[in-house]
Every structure is written in structure tokens, then in C-alpha cells.
Amino acid sequence: SKTKTMGAYKYIEELYKKKQSDVLRFLFRVRCWEYRQMATIVRCQRPARPDKARRLGYKAKQGFVIFRIRVRRGNRKKQVGKGKTMGKPKNQGVNQLKPKRSRKVIAEERVGRRCPNLRVLNSYWVNQDSSHKYFEVILVDPQHEAIRGDA
């Protein structure tokens, strides 16, 4: 009988489907501690999840860049002086306002503003703790010869 073997990327993908497993919980905890010590936006040498990055279009070649970004979790507070919003009671909420866009979209926009010469290709979740979510954003340099040659 022929035994079925998984490739490396499939193996990583199956691991990430069970995020509550001891292995991944330990990995997330250690990595989250490491990410907390770093700046909000950091350029990565290589993706934390190579399988996910490749599925979203990343190639390990010149012209592709990966940035890790930290986005705050929780509701948004309306910026009004002394909590006075003026107007009708419907619009008087200050504290429990939910953001219109997802954390992922916010992360992509912030990295896109940091690197105006690059194009945001995609992004994916890598970690989270009580107060932050961490995403890795894939960017492409459209001026790079290695990328221009692909067209």
C-alpha cells in the first residue's frame, strides 16, 4: 500500500488549522513577546508563514518585500472635547464606536503610506494578544527589473 506524504507547505498549512494545539500556542506566545519588543512597522527578512504568503502571491525573489505591522484591537473612541458631541442623541456615542474597516485593511493602508514607492499585494494574520493584532503585508516594487520582466 502507498502511504500518503505531505509536502512542507501542506504540513505548515495543516499545523495552522489547529491554532489551539500546544505547538502553535507556544510558538504564538514566544513570537508575540518578540513582536511586542519591536517597532509598530518592521521589515521582515522572510515571512513568518511562508505557505500563506506564497498562496497570496509572494515569491522569494528581488522586488518582493514583507512588513510586519501591529494594529490596536478594541473599539474606537470618538475624538470630541470633554465628550460633548452636540446634536441629537443618536449621534452622542463616544466610547463604543466600532471601526468601519477591518484591522487587516487598516494595516495594509498604514504600510502602504509608509512605503509609497511599493504596491500592496496582500496581507495575512500572524499573531494577536489582548491589545494588538499583528499582520504581515506583502508589497511589490513595480520599478524593479525582476518584477518588470514578469509582465
pLDDT tens, residue by residue, 94-132: 999 999 999 999 999 999 999 999 999 999 999 999 999
Q: Which residues of 101-137 are buried (b: 16+ CB within 10 A; e: fewer)?
A: eebbebbbebbeeebeebebbbbbebbbeeebbbbbb
| Structure confidence at residue 82 (pLDDT) | 93
pLDDT tens track for 14-71: 999 999 999 999 999 999 999 999 999 999 999 999 999 999 999 999 999 999 999 9
Q: Is the C-alpha dihedral spanning 46, 47, 51, 56 positive or negative?
A: negative
Q: How confident is the model at residue 150 (pLDDT cuts 50, 70, 90)?
A: confident
What is the 8-class DSSP label of residue 3?
A: P
